[in-house]
Structure 1
């Protein structure tokens, strides 16, 4: 009788442990995280109202497998907390670097040139 109880307890524990294991994420799941972070960054920096050309900046974002950013975000210094934006962009870039390694990703290795930005009609935009 004691052996049956022990077997039942061990079986229950094994099933519990098997169910509590995290399911590995797929590349699509991981990419969805990147998309979500990108949307959050765009939303955070969406107010591009400016009062002069020196009020507009760009920030490199993302990481290509062979180096360099995947894009640049344009933002207004007067409307965006640069430190918070930098923290969000770093989180995105670090995740993309991690996924590039995890999935052995490759890219075209072309270098992106930062856009030239200015205050055009009161909005930060590329020239």
Structure 2
């Protein structure tokens, strides 16, 4: 009876940390051997396979992704989006970037379509998300299971800024 109770509690805990489409980046590397039901493991593996196959031409094999690869991609994205100048709010955008081990984006990026190509930002964000998902899977990463709130942005004094205490969606 005690084993059944533990199995049910573990299942409920894991269900609360199910991965969603948008993902988030504060992951902690904790190697913990955990026993999961076969259906939960199969479902998580299937979800991760879907994330990795987003763009097979640009995604390395799961065993090939390393932290330095992810860091390099983040630097490229930062360089691409560092100019936040804008003429109006319609040029300010938010992009979910990365993948937390427990689901959701690792961060949200504010960028201006006046100075950055939306297509390039989107492709690089997808690549980072796929790489982080692969890295998390490969290294049995765990995270805090806290979903970030998608921020709002607007053009203030010709610069895209995050609006404080507002959000477009909350989890």
Q: What's the counterpart of residue 98 of structure 1?
A: 134
TM alignment of 1:32-111, pairs within 5 A: 32-111=68-147
Q: Distance in 1 between matches of 2:118 and 2:127?
A: 14
User: Shift of the alpha carbon at 1:47?
Assistant: 1.4
* SS state at 2:142 partner: coil
Q: Write 1 or 2 for the structure with the bigger share of helix.
A: 1
| Matched residue SS, 2:67 | helix
From 110, 120, 127, the equivalent of 2:156 is 120
For residue 161 of structure 2, give the secondary structure of its aligned residue in structure 1: strand
Deviating above 6 A after TM superposition, structure 1's stretches of 4 or more consecutive aligned residues are none
Per the normalisation by structure 2, the TM-score is 0.56
Deviation (angstroms), 1:63: 0.3
Segments of 5+ residues of structure 2 without an aligned counterpart are: 1-62, 164-171
Q: CA deviation at 1:117?
A: 0.6
1:43 to partner: Cα distance:
0.4
CA offsets 1:35-76 (integer angstroms, 9 cap, x no match): 111010010111111011121010000001111000011011
Q: Which structure has the bigger radius of gyration?
A: 1
Measured against aligned partners, the alpha-carbon deviations of 1:67-125 in whole angstroms (never above 9, x if no partner) come to 10000110111211101111111111100000000000000010111111111111111
In 1: Cα distance, 2:76 partner to 2:91 partner: 22
Aligned to 2:40: none
